[in-house]
Homo-oligomer: A and B are copies of this chain.
């Protein structure tokens, strides 16, 4: 798996790899992705109204996603939370382990194209 910018679905990875590894099957990709996920190398993302899962390399910098509902483009956004999660944790008597923020919208390009 290369240092891809954008998260990819298993099938996208499959087609991307196909040329160089014509024999690599989709099941193998899923198998490896699962191993990677268990070892915190990739993270699985679920996107609204999209049936397949997407996978992204876990980078050093914690971030979230801004997704164009028109073209499907995904970009990273900074985590806006400072002490919010600590407060939430205390307020609800939870031990917070993870959080996901996903913002959906229409990107600049798609706004233009739509006109």
Contacts and interface: CB of A to CB of B under 8 A. Distances in A.
Contact of A94 (B95, B101, B107): B107
A105 interface: yes
A48 B46 contact: yes
Tell me the number of copies of this protein.
2
A99 B101 contact: yes
A69 interface: yes
Given A107-B93, A107-B94, A88 B66 contact: yes
A79 B80 CA distance: 13
B85 A103 contact: yes
Interface of A: 44, 46-49, 66, 68-69, 75, 77, 80-81, 84-85, 88-89, 92-108, 111
Nearest to A43: B48
15 contacts: A44-B49, A48-B98, A48-B100, A75-B92, A80-B81, A80-B84, A94-B105, A94-B107, A95-B106, A95-B111, A96-B103, A96-B105, A97-B104, A98-B103, A101-B101
Contacts of A89: 105
